[in-house]
Copies of this chain bind each other. A is one copy, B any other.
Amino acid sequence: MRAADIMTRTVITISPDHSVRHAAQLMLDNHISGLPVCDDEGVLVGMLSEGDLLRRAELGSAALGKKETSSPTQVAEAYIKGHGWRVDDVMTRGSLTVGTDAPVGQIAELMAKRAIKRVPVIRDGRIVGIVSRRDILELIAAAEPERFAAGDEAIKCAVLARLASDLGLDRNVIEVRVDRGVVTLCGTVESGVKRLAARVAAEAVDGVGCVRNELRVAHETERASPKPKP
């Protein structure tokens, strides 16, 4: 799955010369939380998002972010962002973009790492779409687990394989029993969080009805931190 497969193709953009108020209304009307800012030639010059509008004179929050350590330049910049009425004064300059071929997983990781909500999709220097977190969410909501009739023995093999591949646990340290789809995990792992991860790994195997987690944690001290789950 790539950017072109999930992107929204109708992209609402705004001019740097428009008013902040108009931009806010445009976001509200279209149920979006940010806008690419394009100049008269359609070239992307920045992004205006809800985050750019949180420290504003209208809210009485323009000066709240001011620290005692702020330099005169930072104070003046915050003033411009808090009081400017033109998009140009308030937007975040520049923008990360992706090509139409960018894999969805990479886009999601980019959003996570850079804490951004949307990425314009560019082809030949022009915006052809935008991928938002909402587009990513749709993939998760649509992800249908592949269900197939699996006997207890097949489930056991699948759970053991997953514990080995995903968590590096093999049948020397963990015993897996399966009775009519109910999986029981026994043995010892080195931490509470690994115990939890083993349950998650077993639950993700197709055909598993429920998981009884009887794994023990090797060191009691580590067991205390993340609360073990049934």
Q: Which A residues lie at the B interface, using CB under 8 A?
A: 20-21, 24-25, 27-28, 31, 33, 50-51, 53-61, 64-65, 72-73, 76-77, 79-80, 83-86, 88-89, 103-106, 108-109, 111-113, 115, 117, 133-134, 136-141, 143, 166-167, 190-191, 193-194, 196-197, 200-201, 203-204, 226, 229
Contacts and interface: CB of A to CB of B under 8 A. Distances in A.
A86 B50 CA distance: 30
Interface secondary structure of A, over-half rule: helix
9 contacts: A21-B141, A57-B204, A59-B104, A64-B106, A65-B109, A77-B197, A79-B167, A88-B229, A89-B200
A191 B76 contact: yes
Copies in the complex: 2
A91 to B, nearest CB: 13
A53 B136 contact: yes
Given A25-B141, A51-B112, A61-B104, 18 more contacts: A21-B141, A24-B141, A50-B134, A51-B133, A54-B108, A54-B111, A54-B112, A55-B108, A58-B140, A59-B136, A61-B105, A72-B194, A76-B193, A84-B200, A85-B200, A85-B204, A88-B229, A115-B115
Contacts of A84: 200, 203
Nearest to A21: B141
Q: Which of A25, A76, A139, A196: most chain B CB closer than 10 A? A: A76
B133 A28 contact: no
